[in-house]
Amino acid sequence: PLMEDYAGILGIQIRNQVPFYATKEEPDIGGISRALYLSPEMVKGSLKEKGKLSGFHLSFLEAKAKEHAELGNWKAVCALIAVSIYRTILFPNQRSFVDINAIRLFMQRNPIPTLIGDVYYSVHNRNEK
């Protein structure tokens, strides 16, 4: 399947989007703050290191989503849940930890190339055995 096929299955428009590209640079605090509807101070104080990657504990994002739900801030709730889902589906390597790669991908709003990479890797792994 091609990128367009996955986009059609998932209902995501990709025509004018730049595909996901990995960089060694982490997103800045301000960008993460805007994407997740958290204050820059909250982001800076809550980013943790796990292995060689920084990110948030899943419990932190869940707690913030609950706080925003109580306030009726549904854009923030959706963003926090969505980044948690990106972690669960696309980057399940760290248990209960949303690493910077999931956050970066969420900020770009185009999961298709990474999903394709994961599918091809899985197929390759299965055929290797």
Q: pLDDT class for 17, splitting at 50, 70, 90?
A: low
Residues 56 and 97 sit within 8 Å (Cβ to Cβ): yes
Partnered with residue 53 across adjacent β-strands are: 50
95, containing H or E segment: none
Residues 63 and 98 sit within 8 Å (Cβ to Cβ): no
Own/partner pairs, 42-49, CB within 8 angstroms, 24+ separation: 48/97
| Residues 36-63: tens digit of each pLDDT | 999 999 999 999 999 888 999 999 999 9
**DSSP state, 52?**
T
| Residues 80-113: tens digit of each pLDDT | 998 998 887 777 777 899 988 889 888 877 666 6
In the chain, the percentage of residues whose pLDDT exceeds 70 is: 76
Cβ contacts of residue 69 below 8 Å, gap of 6+? 77
pTM over the 0.75 mark: no
